[in-house]
Structure 1
Amino acid sequence: MKENKTQSSNPVFWISAIIILVLVIWGAFVPKSFASVANSVYTFTTNAFGWFYLLAVIFFVLFCFYLAVSKYGKIRLGKDGEKPEYPFFTWIGMLFSAGFGVGLVFWGVAEPMTHFANPPTGFGVEGETEQAAKLAMRYSFFHWGVHQWSVFTVVGLVMAYFQYRKGRRSLIGETISTKTNQNKSVPWKTVINILAVIATVMGVATSLGFGILQINGGLDYMYGLPQNAWVQIGITAILFILYMSSSTTGLNKGIKYLSNLNLALALLLMLFVLFLGPTVFILESFTLAIGGYIQKFIEMSFYMTPYQGGTWVKEWTVFYWAWVIAWSPFIGAFVARVSKGRSIREMIFGVLIVPPFIAMVWIAVFGGAAFHLDLFQGTAIADAVNNDVTSALFVTLEQFPLTGILSTLSIFLICVFLVTSADSATFVLGMMTSGGDLNPSLFSKLVWGTLIAAISAVLIISSGLQGLQTASLVAALPFTVILLVMCVNLFKSVRQEMKAYEVKKERKLLKKLTDPSNRQKESSDQSHTS
Structure 2
Amino acid sequence: MKKSQNIFDTPLRKSVFWPPFILISIAVLVSIFAEDLFERSMELINRFILTNFSLLFSYTSFAMVITCILIIFSPLGKIKIGGNKAQPKFSKLSWFSIILCTTVAVGILFWGSAEPLFHFLHPPDFKYFSSGSLAAKQFSMGAIFLHWGFTPYAIYCIPALGVALAVYNSQLKFSLSSPLSPILGQNGRNKISNSIDMVCLFALVTGMAASLGAGILSISGGLMDQWNTLDKEFLLPGVTLIIMVTFIVSASSGINQGIKNLSQINFCFFLIFNLLIFSIGPTVPILEDSLLSIKSYAQSFLPLSLQWGDIKGSEWSQSWSVFNWANWMAWAPITALFLGKIAYGRTVREFILFNWIFPAIFCLAWMSIFGGSTLFYANQDSGHFNQLLNQSGPESIIYEVFSNIGWSNILAPAFILAMFISYVTAADSSTEAMASLSMKSFSLKDFDSDTSLKVIWGTLVGLLAWVMVTFAGIDGVKMLSSLGGLPALFLLIGITISINKMMWQPQKYLKN
Q: TM-score range by the shorter chain?
A: over 0.9
2:252 alignment partner in structure 1: 248
Q: Find out whether 1:447 has 2:456 as its counterpart.
A: yes
CA contact (8 A) 2:502 2:509 kept: no
Q: Find out whether 1:412 has 2:417 as its counterpart.
A: yes
- With 369-378 and 143-152 compared, the bigger mean Cα shift is at 369-378
Structure 2: runs of 5+ lacking an equivalent: none
1:394 alignment partner in structure 2: 399
Whose Rg is larger? 1
Aligned partner of 2:487 among 457, 478, 500: 478
Give aligned-pair identity as a percent.
27
Residues 308-334 of structure 1 deviation map (CA, whole Å, 9 limit, x = unaligned) = 974111100011111111111122122
Cα distance 1:276–1:194, how it changes in 2: closer, same or farther (>3 A)? same
- 1:287-436 aligned within 5 A: 287-303=291-307, 306=310, 310-376=314-380, 380-387=384-391, 388-435=393-440, 436=442
Deviation at 1:380, TM superposition (A): 3.2
Aligned partner of 1:489 among 480, 498, 502: 498
2:468 alignment partner in structure 1: 459
- With 129-138 and 429-438 compared, the bigger mean Cα shift is at 429-438
- With 200-209 and 373-382 compared, the bigger mean Cα shift is at 373-382
CA contact (8 A) 2:160 2:335 kept: yes
- With 459-468 and 52-61 compared, the bigger mean Cα shift is at 459-468
Q: Residue 82 of structure 2 aligns to a residue in which SS?
A: coil
1:70 alignment partner in structure 2: 74
In the superposition, the TM-score normalised over structure 1's length comes to 0.89
Cα distance 1:183–1:98, how it changes in 2: closer, same or farther (>3 A)? farther
Q: Residue 404 of structure 2 aligns to a residue in which SS?
A: coil
Q: Find out whether 1:220 has 2:224 as its counterpart.
A: yes
CA contact (8 A) 2:77 2:349 kept: yes
User: CA–CA distance in 2 between the matches of 1:501 and 1:12?
Assistant: 27
Residues 341-375 of structure 1 deviation map (CA, whole Å, 9 limit, x = unaligned) = 11111111221111111111111111111222233
- With 369-378 and 141-150 compared, the bigger mean Cα shift is at 369-378
Tell me which amino acid in the other structure corresponds to 1:84.
P
CA contact (8 A) 1:97 1:417 kept: yes
Tell me which amino acid in the other structure corresponds to 2:428.
D
Q: Residue 176 of structure 1 aligns to a residue in which SS?
A: helix
Residues 407-436 of structure 1 deviation map (CA, whole Å, 9 limit, x = unaligned) = 000000001011112222211111222245
1:233 alignment partner in structure 2: 237
In the superposition, the TM-score normalised over structure 2's length comes to 0.92
Deviation at 1:157, TM superposition (A): 0.6
2:96 alignment partner in structure 1: 92
- With 381-390 and 322-331 compared, the bigger mean Cα shift is at 381-390
Q: Find out whether 1:59 has 2:68 as its counterpart.
A: no
Cα distance 1:160–1:235, how it changes in 2: closer, same or farther (>3 A)? same
Structure 1: runs of 5+ lacking an equivalent: 505-530
Deviation at 1:495, TM superposition (A): 4.4
Residues 426-459 of structure 1 deviation map (CA, whole Å, 9 limit, x = unaligned) = 1111122224542211122111111111111122
CA contact (8 A) 2:159 2:179 kept: no
Deviation at 1:162, TM superposition (A): 0.4
User: CA–CA distance in 2 between the matches of 1:371 and 1:449?
Assistant: 36
Q: Residue 119 of structure 1 aligns to a residue in which SS?
A: coil
- With 308-317 and 46-55 compared, the bigger mean Cα shift is at 308-317
Tell me which amino acid in the other structure corresponds to 1:416.
I
Cα distance 1:30–1:286, how it changes in 2: closer, same or farther (>3 A)? same
Deviation at 1:187, TM superposition (A): 4.6
- With 265-274 and 197-206 compared, the bigger mean Cα shift is at 265-274
Count of paired positions? 503
Q: Residue 380 of structure 1 aligns to a residue in which SS?
A: helix
CA contact (8 A) 2:50 2:322 kept: yes
Cα distance 1:417–1:308, how it changes in 2: closer, same or farther (>3 A)? closer
